[in-house]
Structure 1
Amino acid sequence: MKVLSPTDSAFLWMETRNQPMHVAGLNIYSPPPGAGPHFVSQLLAGWGRHLSALPPFNQRPVLRRGLWYWEDDTEFELDYHLRHLALPHPGRIRELLAMISRLHGNLLDRNRPLWEAYVIEGLPQGRFATYTKIHHALVDGVTGARIMAESLARTADEDKPPVWAQVYSRHPTVRREAPAKGLIKQLASAARAGRDILPGVAGGLWDIVRAADPDSASALPFHAPPTPFNVEISGSRRFAAQSYSLARLKRIGEAAGATVNDVTLAICAGALRRYLEVQKALPRKPLIAMVPVSLHGETDAGGNQVSLLLANLATNLRDPLKRLQRIVQSTTQAKERLKAMPRLQKMAHGITSISPMGAGMVMGTSKQRPGFNVVISNVPGPKHTLYLNGARLDEVYPVSIATHYLALNITISGYGDNLGFGYIACRRSVPALQRMLDYTDESILELERALADKLTPATPAPVKRATRKRVMASRARP
């Protein structure tokens, strides 16, 4: 058995019916040339021969002596985890997103390994999708994206085992420990790390109590304005997503002297500003975004390796270029501060700085004094084209987590020459989420118009309306 880290365990403790703690990926594929109508059925028949699962897909959580552990599921049932669905006629992307919205609101069964995989057929031209959800206690966004990418092939003529039947040696559930030894090792590691953790805790506490400078671009916890996103949520979800050219966003960044991550934050900020304007709920103070920062490049440890930074989204500024410049100032200051910290200090600082949110959620004060307004995450993805038994992976969209007082989550995932924006929200708390796609379009165009004299010419590409890569959330109730 393997003891969970405190960070991984937190996702199990936080989970409720209205607050599922799983993340997911939606992949859309084109079948190989000449594939017949039974391609998906044949794919599933081949997968059905892999009746055993390997770590982390054979691990279920158990609670002992107040600690969570992973243990092997000795009664693993593939039929429970692998599911075959078909879209209702006419099989548009609209119907696919309605289905994903319903599936994503359902809890995973803790008596079994915490994952489910769906193969969904019925899209036009024989296209099909996979939707795979896995508990955040098992993986963070970066690890989940890496596992999904590694499970696919780089060439159309290569067939690989399904995702649950491959070896992922870097994942922490591969290593086994006795419960007592795991507890002792965890305590010993904490003691050795004290010199890094304690300064991080102190820095996080200082961020909570120190006064904010109104003229500074930096963002501090619990200085965000109340918004319609910072309310209690239901268990139902709505999902909307859209894909954009990475080259297009890079051109904006080059013209403005900003990174692609800063550009994506500015795009989201413009869309959020417009959404709140329409809802007549735009606050005078700027929205604050929590941006997860992956630390996997600093350690070989598995599990959730993440810190965070807070970004001033400058939604109080009407000018899109000034908004982007303010965001660049904010993220640059936050990154410079994190850069000076060791890995464990970064993690401790991030967790401590937002730790009062737990009490605020219980007492209801997070509605009037949120720690931040929205989560915006950017997950790197593979640059090369991937295949599933010859089927080409066309589009990748992340599906993340909405929580109480954080009713909207925006996650952006890269694949090839595109970035997939995924918006997940409580469908009751965030009405008309699909309009965020229109506002995202408008936000990009605003930046391009503001930088028109500095943008490098784009390489012209044919536009085919029928194949425009856009998906929208359905209005149908889950």
Structure 2
Amino acid sequence: MRLSPQDLLFIYGETSSSKMHVAGLLPFTPPADAPRDYLRRMIDEARRQEVVAPWNRKLAHPRLQFSPLHSWVEDVDFDFDYHVRRSALASPGDERELGILVSRLHSNHLDLTRPPWELHVIEGLEGGRFALYMKIHHALVDGYSAMRMLGRSLSKDRDSTDDRMFFNVPVPSRPPREAGTSNPLTATLRALGGLGSTVTGGVSSALDLTNALVKTQIRRDGEYAHIAGSASAPHSILNARISRNRRFATQQYEFDRLKALSSQHGATINDVALTIIGGGLRTFLADMDELPERSLVAFLPVNVRPKGDEGGGNAVGAILAPMGTDIADPVERLQTITAATRAAKAQLQTMSPTAIIAYSAALLAPAGGQIAGALTGVAPPWPYTFNLCVSNVPGPPEPLYFNGSRLEATYPVSIPIHGMALNITLQSYADTINLGFVGCRDRLPSLQRLAVYTGEALADLEKASVDQPG
């Protein structure tokens, strides 16, 4: 099976310091009557399950990294014990120790001579809990498919005892429009690959693109004054060359806390999340004496249905949004972010699907300069395109279980790259919002502090919202 052009890019992007794998950290609470050997039984049962495609596929010629003819072949010598591993924290392990372990696991490359995935069963958490850390190369499975995989391998029934591991659940075929929409890197690559399609999309698409670029890059007035252009981001510590080592941190909030703020201020849940992340970054960078005078700018992958489309399907686009790190007042920060994202999304909704893809490509194309600058150590004299990526992935709306164990959270672990040392992904699950922070260990030490400061920023926004009703 031949790799698609998009999947090839993730193989080509694999270097000693850039790893093109994504992951998920899933903590579980086992049933009250779980036996002492519950996890051993779970692994023994999984060993008896068939490993189905694509989980049994490996690259035909893994050592020819830049071959344009990469293809997947079945691994007839599949080694279960290599791919499914047991790890343990010194009991009772807390969240910090779990984060340290995941940081180390996420820093290691996947072996491309084997099917490129690993499952780590982590025991020793406080209260008899355990966690699954699933690590998958992005060339094998994209984020959209991974979310569907999660939903299909878990159960809504807490009494279910016949749930199968994800590698025993076939991944659904990827609809061409939807594939990769939940992962920022996939969205970016598809956008950059689609610039030329505007020509074949007709005069209407070309006019849409030209009009959008003029409003975004040249004449930002009226409602478009709030839109961030391709040269709005300041130079920052986040835009440096990254090392091979990673830091990972998590936060979890009750969905209703963000929903209440969203309703009060006429903002989206994502706007509220950006506001508290911006507040956390403001404190985090100020502590390091690395806070730029201008606001940091985030790259946000978005799904926008084309104008007049009454059916399903999504248009994949990208917008840039200020994080409000230059604004001390949390309500003012939220208002600034809301105005920017609302204007940017409104602009996309006036465009054809072809123009949306081309516009996103044009918007993000200048980022090549900041990546080159990070690699060479020579910062370009002009402003950057963005400083970090913040992605929002809808997750399962109801509690899920695996053989009686309740899933507590779903923490995404994404990909930092040269010129973007921090990647933050939000994922909704049941009645919670889960944040996964992943960054370069050498550029962003003590990343857990950013997660803590994000929680403090949420409390500050709630207090300010009481003092200044929306």
Range into which the TM-score falls when normalised by the shorter chain = 0.7 to 0.9
The aligned counterpart of 1:167 is 170
CA shift in 2, pair 1:366/1:26, >3 Å? farther
Residue matched to 2:6: 7
**Could you tell me whether the CA contact under 8 Å between 2:198 and 2:358 is conserved in 1?**
no
Query: 2:232·2:386 contact (CA, 8 Å) conserved in 1?
Result: yes
Give the secondary structure class of the aligned counterpart of 1:134: strand
Q: Indicate if the aligned counterparts of 1:25 and 1:131 stay in contact, CA closer than 8 A.
A: yes
Compute the TM-score of the two structures, normalised by the length of structure 2: 0.84
The secondary structure found in structure 2 opposite 1:440 is helix
Aligned to 1:448: 462
The answer to whether 1:220 aligns with 2:234 is no
Q: Decide whether the 8 Å contact of 1:383 with 1:417 is kept in 2.
A: yes
Distance 1:169 1:451, change over 3 A: same
Question: Which residue of the partner structure matches residue 466 of structure 1?
Answer: none
Match of 1:49 in 2: 48
The runs of 5 or more residues in structure 1 that have no matched partner are 174-186, 457-478
Establish whether residue 18 from structure 1 lines up as the match of residue 6 from structure 2.
no
Does 2:421 correspond to 1:418? Answer: no
RMSD of aligned Cα (Å):
3.1
For 2:387, the equivalent position in structure 1 comes to 373
- Within 2, Cα distance between the matches of 1:452 and 1:308? 33
The equivalent of 1:178 in structure 2 is none
Please list the CA deviations of residues 241-293 of structure 1 after superposition, one character each: whole Å capped at 9, or x if unmatched.
Answer: 01100001100111111010110011111111111222222222111100112
State the alpha-carbon separation in 1 of the partners of residues 333 and 412 from structure 2. Answer: 26
1:309 to 319, 323, 334: 319
Q: Return closer, same or farther for 1:436/1:65 CA change in 2, 3 Å cut-off.
A: closer
8 A Cα contact 1:357 1:370, kept in partner? yes
The alignment of Structure 1 onto Structure 2 pairs a total of residues equal to 438
Take 2:281 and 2:261, find their aligned partners in 1: how far apart are those partners?
A: 19
Work out whether residues 391 and 424 of structure 2, in 8 Å CA contact, stay in contact via their aligned partners in 1: yes
Residue 394, structure 1, aligned to residue 408, structure 2 = yes
Q: Distance in 2 between matches of 1:19 and 1:144?
A: 21
TM-aligned CA distance change 1:429 to 1:211, over 3 Å? farther
**Which residue of structure 2 lines up, in the alignment, with residue 31 of structure 1?**
30
1:56–1:394 distance in 2 versus 1, CA, 3 Å? same
5+ long unaligned stretches in structure 2: 177-192
CA distance in 1, matches of 2:51, 2:100: 31
Letter of the 2:159 counterpart: D
Letter in 1 for 2:417: T
The match for 1:429 is: 443
Question: Which range moved further: 292-301 or 83-92?
Answer: 292-301
Q: Distance in 2 between matches of 1:78 and 1:291?
A: 37
Q: Which amino acid aligns with 2:441?
A: R
Identify which of 71, 84, 88 aligns with 1:86.
88
Q: Using a 3 Å threshold, how does the CA distance of structure 1 residues 357 and 207 change in structure 2: closer, same or farther?
A: farther
Q: Distance in 1 between matches of 2:67 and 2:451?
A: 47
CA distance in structure 2 between the aligned counterparts of 1:455 and 1:170, rounded to whole angstroms: 47
CA distances 1:341-391 after superposition (whole Å, capped 9, x unpaired): 333432333233222333542344556642201111111101111111111
Is residue 288–residue 372 contact of structure 1 (8 Å, CA) maintained in 2?
A: yes
Query: Whole-Å Cα distance in 2 between the matches of residues 193 and 49 of structure 1?
Result: 53
- The answer to whether structure 1 residue 105 and structure 2 residue 107 are counterparts is yes
Residues 69, 334 of structure 1: alpha-carbon distance in 2 compared, 3 angstrom cutoff: farther
Pick from 288, 298, 304 the counterpart of residue 289 of structure 1.
298
Q: Cα–Cα, structure 1 residues 207 and 24, in superposed 2: closer, same or farther, change >3 Å?
A: farther
Question: Residue type matched to 1:9 in 2?
Answer: L
In structure 1, how many angstroms separate the alpha carbons of the residues matched to 2:444 and 2:97? 20
Answer yes or no: is the 8 Å Cα contact 1:81–1:117 preserved in 2. yes
- Cα deviation for residue 110 of structure 1 reads 1.6
The alpha-carbon distance between structure 1 residues 385 and 151, as it changes in their structure 2 partners (threshold 3 A), is: same
Query: Structure 1 residues 8 and 201, CA, compared in 2 at 3 Å: closer, same or farther?
Result: farther
Alignment partner for residue 348 of structure 1, among 358, 370, 377?
A: 358
**What's the secondary structure of 1:238's corresponding residue?**
strand
The alpha carbon displacement at 1:300 in A equals 9.3
Any idea what the Cα deviations from partners look like across 1:96-151, whole Å, max 9, x if unmatched? 11110000011112222221111111112221000001122234433322211221
2: CA distance between counterparts of 1:385 and 1:291? 27
Whole-Å separation in 2 of the counterparts to 1:433 and 1:93:
13
Alignment-mate amino acid for residue 323 of structure 1: R
Whole-angstrom distance in 2 between the partners of 1:454 and 1:84: 51
